[in-house]
């Protein structure tokens, strides 16, 4: 009886392990299909080209995020300086608290093939990105996303997933610089107020529209 129980437990453990190690593309498609909104925390670190030292000024940034598909999000940098990127589904607002300055862009133009479109945009990712498996690294299954647009600000984006949830992103620009983001306290489908993404221009702020 004990042997049977142990064998059953082992089989269950192997099944769970297999599920956890599902292909990155399958995990990501399931994440997109099942996640209408989310919130959590992030850290961001810029690194240079392989073998090159990162600038001393390129210290880590950190903050919080919340999003609701399609195209609504608040990405808040809290350290080392305060900045908010907020989209209401139509406009993208970039607010620099120190400068008391707001830059406004049409969301479609600003999102497009950007990394934000991967997490916050519509479900039609393959319209703007070529998706491919990136293998296993650091305990995560990686998905590589290459923008189809030639004028994209990024050459490639990699997403690391575990148990169907993104835990990391690597954004490589055309100059070989890479930004590494790590996510924590990722909460799927929290209750979010309907007007949570409406942006209010701070009093006295300079506004620039593009």
CATH number of the domain where residue 87 is located: 2.50.20.10
> Which domain, by its residues, includes 25?
20-209
- Intra-chain end-to-end CA distance of the chain, in Å: 72
pLDDT at 12 over 50: no
- Per the domain annotation, does 72 fall within a domain? yes
Q: How confident is the model at residue 107 (pLDDT cuts 50, 70, 90)?
A: confident
- Per the domain annotation, does 8 fall within a domain? no
The answer, yes or no, to whether the previous bond of 134 is cis (omega within 30 of 0) is: no
Domain count for the chain, please give it. 1
Q: What percent of the chain has pLDDT over 90?
A: 61
Contact between 155 and 169 (Cβ < 8 Å) = no
Pick the more confident residue, 111 or 36.
36
Q: What is the chain's mean pLDDT, rounded?
A: 83
Q: In degrees to the nearest 10, what's the CA dihedral of 125, 22, 141, 108? A: 10
Most confident of 46-60, 140-154, 181-195: 181-195
Instruction: Record the pTM.
Output: 0.80
Pick the more confident residue, 57 or 125.
125
- Per the domain annotation, does 147 fall within a domain? yes
pLDDT at 109: 64
- Per the domain annotation, does 132 fall within a domain? yes
Query: For the segment 129-138, what is each residue's pLDDT rounded down to a tens digit?
Result: 899 999 999 9
pLDDT at 210: 85
Query: For the segment 51-72, what is each residue's pLDDT rounded down to a tens digit?
Result: 555 444 457 999 999 999 888 9
pLDDT at 77 over 90: yes
């Amino acid at each position: 009886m004990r042997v049977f129980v142990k064998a059953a437990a082992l089989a269950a453990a192997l099944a769970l392990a297999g599920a956890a190690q599902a292909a990155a593309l399958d995990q990501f498609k399931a994440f997109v299909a099942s996640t209408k909104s989310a919130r959590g925390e992030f850290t961001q670190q810029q690194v240079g080209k392989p073998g090159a030292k990162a600038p001393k000024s390129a210290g880590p940034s950190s903050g919080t995020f919340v999003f609701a598909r399609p195209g609504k999000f608040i990405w808040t940098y809290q350290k080392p300086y305060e900045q908010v990127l907020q989209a209401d589904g139509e406009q993208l607002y970039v607010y620099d608290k120190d400068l008391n300055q707001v830059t406004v862009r049409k969301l479609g133009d600003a999102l497009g093939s950007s990394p934000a479109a991967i997490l916050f945009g519509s479900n039609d990712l393959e319209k703007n990105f070529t998706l491919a498996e990136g293998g296993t690294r650091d305990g995560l299954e990686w998905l590589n996303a290459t923008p189809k647009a030639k004028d994209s600000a990024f050459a490639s984006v990699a997403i690391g997933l575990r148990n169907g949830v993104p835990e990391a992103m690597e954004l490589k620009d055309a100059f070989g610089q890479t930004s590494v983001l790590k996510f924590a306290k990722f909460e799927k489908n929290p209750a979010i107020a309907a007007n949570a993404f409406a942006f209010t221009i701070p009093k006295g702020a300079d506004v620039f529209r593009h």
